[in-house]
Each structure stands twice: as C-alpha cells, then as structure tokens.
Structure 1
Amino acid sequence: MVTQPGKSAPAPARRSEKSRHAIYAAALALVAEVGYPRTTVEGIAARAGVGKQTIYRWWDSKADVLLEAFLDMAQNTAETAGQDTYALPDTGDLATDLKAVLRATVDELLDPRFSAPSRALAAEGLVNEQLGREFVAKLLEPQLQLYVDRLERARDAGQLRPGVDPRIALELFVSPLAQRWLQHTGPISHAYTDTLVDYALHGLAPR
C-alpha cells in the first residue's frame, strides 16, 4: 500500500480495534433485525466489511461474537451514563433500592437494543453449555452478587430476619421477572416489579 507523503499507515492494533467494533455492531444489528437463528458468521462479516476468516481468528462461533458484543455494549452504555456497569443503590431503604434497580432492569429488557441479544444469549446458553457458563459468569453472576451484597447489608441492619439466605431471597423477585420476560407469560412493567418486591419482602399473609 502506498501512503501519502507525511502520513503513516494506520497501526495494525488500530485497524484491529476498528474491525472488532464493526463486528460487534454488525452482530447486534443482525440479531435485532433477523433474529439469532438467521444470524450467521458470514452475515456478520459481510455487514462489518471484513473477511469471514477475521471473525474466526478471534471467535469460535457467532454465539461468542454476540456475547462479547453484548458485554461491550453494556459497558459502553454504563460509561456514557456515568455509571458503574453493575450498580445497586444503597439508600438504607431496601424496598426502595430494589424497586429502583428492577425498574431500570425492566427498561433495559424492553429496549430492543438489549432485549434481542440478551434473549438470544439466554436461549442459546440452554443448549450450548460452554456459552451458558460464560453468560452466567461474565454477565449474570456479577449482577446477582450485588443483590447478595445488598441483601446481606440489609440483614446485618436488621431489615431482614437473621437467618435469611440472600441467594434464595433474591430469587423471589429476580426469577419471576426473568421467567415472565423469557417465556412471554405476561407483560413486564414497573408496577409488576414493585409488586414482586412487596410480595418478597412482606409475604402474602395479612400484616
């Protein structure tokens, strides 16, 4: 390649990063437009303007591309908003904090930019054991651990019974939301997650 006088060729690392982010964007766009089953490595490569061999040099499958693209998008979105990627509020009021973070989760799950790839990854993780482990380890586990930490602080402050297991407790409001969203068993909304928190913290018996 001949370069213009006074100008140097782009550094290989810079070219690689440009290609990598083009591939991320292509994978996310295709999954949103045509769905995960119809998304292919060939389609991602064509959309990103790179050769198929470039993708296979960095990833083993379209699922691996999508997982990395999704994690990158989540990180960039949080940084743009000036937030930590994983952040759980701690105002001292457990119910208020849980409702706030679950409302934010609902907003994300209803955003097509997030819902299409996250739904695809969750579904693929059920049949692809390796992807499933990575999806849990890199995306779900860090978020669930923050719930555990917040519930432990609430327990230490006397807001929960001393013997409450935070891992089981968080399932009372996280699992129903995930199931309803994944299986389309009903609408998800702020009112719905507020109710989940109320039921989880106060039970169903008369007070």
Structure 2
Amino acid sequence: MIFDALFARAADVAETLPSTGDLQRDLETLLEEAVVEISTQPRESLLRSLAARIQTDESTASEFHDRLLRPQLDVVHTLLRSGGARRVERTAELLLAPVFYRWFMRLAPMTTQDIASHVREVLRLAHVP
C-alpha cells in the first residue's frame, strides 16, 4: 500500500516535469521540487521509514528500485539526454547525491542558490553543452 501511494505521487510528478528547453533551469526545478518533496511531512517520515527498511530488507529494496527509483531516474536521464549529456547515469548520480546525502544525514537542505550552483558545476563536469 505504501508503494502504491508513493508510486501514484511519483507518476503525478513525472507528468508535470519541467520542459522549457533550458536544461540548467529544468534540472534546477527538478531538484528544488525533490528537496520539497522529501522534506515535507508526512511524506518525509514515510520516506525515512522506507529508507530504513530498504537497508534491512532485500524485497523492499527491490520493489523500491523497480517501482519508484528506476522510473524517476529514467525521467532525469531523459532530461539529460535531451540536453546533450552522454554519461547520463553518472551525471544523474552527481546531480542527485548531494540532495539525498543532506537528507539522510539530516543536514540543512540545499537552497535555491546551492541548487543552481550545483547544477551548473555538474553540467560543466559532465561536459554538457
């Protein structure tokens, strides 16, 4: 049931993805929305419980990857490909890791300015035009 609720929300988000043609801005918007999504109650508590369960239960981890993570990463990969990125999987990891690291460690979330700078740096490192 938890996965059904999370999956329904993820599908809603995927349908309203930014698509302005400006990769930098689209990725900033995506990360800003992700920060809000994982930091707002009651979703934050649910996701923290799920994250703990993923660490100890292989079937939960597998279902999470198949039903939630993979479709969300596919969206990020599509955005990156549309902007000319070649190593989309690696670039997506570089983009997303700091957001989730801060969340997992209960550090302050990235600000709008942090996100803009971060996206610029990752796109530069990934040699995205």
Asked whether the two chains share a fold, i.e. TM above 0.5, the reply is yes
TM superposition score normalised by structure 1: 0.54
2:71 paired with 1:142: yes
TM-score, normalization: structure 2?
Answer: 0.84
Partner of 1:112: 41
Offset of residue 171 of structure 1: 0.8
Instruction: Provide structure 2 residue ranges, at least 5 long, that are not aligned to the other structure.
Output: none
Over the matched positions of the two proteins, sequence identity in percent amounts to: 28
User: How far does the alpha carbon of each residue in 1:143-177 deviate from its partner, in whole angstroms, 9 at most, with x for none?
Assistant: 1001111111111xxxx4xxx21011111111111
Q: What amino acid does structure 2 have at the position aligned with 1:141? A: R
Alpha carbons of structure 1 residues 93 and 120: separation in structure 2 relative to 1, 3 Å:
same
Structure richer in helix, relative to its length: 2
Counterpart check, 1:202 vs 2:88: no
Aligned residues: 123
Matched residue type, 2:19: D
Paired residues of 2:3 and 2:67 also in contact (CA < 8 A): no
Which runs of structure 1 show a deviation greater than 4 angstroms over 4 or more consecutive aligned residues?
none
Task: Point out which structure has higher relative CO (alpha carbons under 8 A, 6+ apart).
Answer: 2
1:86-112 deviation digits (Å, cap 9, x = unpaired):
143221110000001111111112211
Contact 1:106 1:190 in 2 (8 A): no
Which 10-residue stretch deviates more, 142-151 or 85-94? 85-94
Alpha-carbon distance in 2 for matches of 1:127, 1:191:
36
- Contact 1:103–1:193 under 8 Å retained in 2: yes
2:14 is equivalent to residue 86 of structure 1: yes
